[in-house]
Amino acid sequence: MLTLQNLSIRAGVKPLLDSATLTVHPGQKIGLIGQNGVGKTTLFKTILNEVPVESGHLGIPVNWLIGCVEQEVAKHDINALEYVTYGDTLYAEVTENVKQAESSNDNDALVKAYDALDKISGYMVPNKAKQLLYGLGFSDSDFSKNLSEFSGGWQVRLKLARALMQRADLLLLDEPTNHLDIEAVAWLEQWLKSYEGAVLIISHDRDFLDQVVQGIAHIHNQKIYYYSGNFAAFERQRNEQLMQQQALHDKQKQQMQHLKSFIERFKAKASKAKQAQSRVKALERMEEVAAVQAMNPFLFKFLSPDHQPDPMMTIQDLCFSYPDKKILDSVDLVLRAGDRIGLVGVNGSGKTTLLKQLVGELKPQSGKVIVSKGVKVGYFAQHQIDSLNFDQSPLQHMLAQENTPSDQEGRDFLGKFGFSNAQCLESIKSFSGGEKARLALALIVYQKPNLIILDEPTNHLDMETRDALDMAIQEFSGAVILVTHDKHLLASISDQFWWVHNGKVTLYNGDLDGYLQEQLKAIKAHQQEHKVTRPGQTKKELRQQNAQQRKAIEGKIKPYQKELKVIEKKMEKLQSDLAGYHLMMEDESLYDASNKGKLEECLKLQASCSQDLEDLEMRWLELEELIEEIKSESDV
- Rounded CA-CA distance 246/241 in Å is 8
The number of CA neighbours under 13 Å toward the Cβ of 413 is 26
- Rounded CA-CA distance 468/3 in Å is 34
The closest of 218, 180, 163, 266 to 486, measured between CA atoms, is 180
When pLDDT is averaged across residues 485-507 and rounded to a whole number, the result is 87
59 - beta bridge partners? 3
Give the total residue count for the chain: 636
CA dihedral 492, 493, 498, 502 (to 10 degrees): -60
Beta strand segments in 185-299, E? 198-202, 215-220, 223-228
- Rounded CA-CA distance 413/428 in Å is 17
Beta strand segments in 375-417, E? 377-380
Sequence-ordered list of residues with C-beta below 8 angstroms from that of 199, at least 6 positions apart, any chain: 28, 29, 30, 170, 171, 172, 173, 192, 212, 213
CA distances from 161 to 72, 188, 195, 630, 631 (A): 14, 10, 13, 26, 28
Whether 40 shows a pLDDT value over 60: the answer reads yes
| Burial grade of 53 (CB within 10 A; 0-12, 13-18, 19 or more) | middle
Between CA 66 and CA 73, with CA 67 as vertex, the angle to 5 degrees is 135
* 443-472 confidence digits (pLDDT tens): 988 888 999 999 988 877 777 778 888 888
Sequence-ordered list of residues with C-beta below 8 angstroms from that of 228, at least 6 positions apart, any chain: 214, 215
The closest of 442, 443, 451, 450 to 400, measured between CA atoms, is 443
* 76-107 confidence digits (pLDDT tens): 678 999 999 998 988 989 888 888 888 888 88
* 391-445 confidence digits (pLDDT tens): 999 999 999 888 888 889 989 889 888 888 888 999 998 887 778 888 988 898 8
**Which range is least confidently modeled, 230-239, 251-260, 312-321?**
251-260
| Cα radius of gyration (the chain) | 26
* 274-330 confidence digits (pLDDT tens): 555 666 666 666 555 555 555 555 667 777 887 888 899 999 999 998 887 888 999
Q: In this predicted structure, what is the pLDDT of residue 196? A: 87
More confident residue, 527 or 339: 339
The closest of 429, 395, 430 to 414, measured between CA atoms, is 395
* 570-580 confidence digits (pLDDT tens): 888 888 888 78
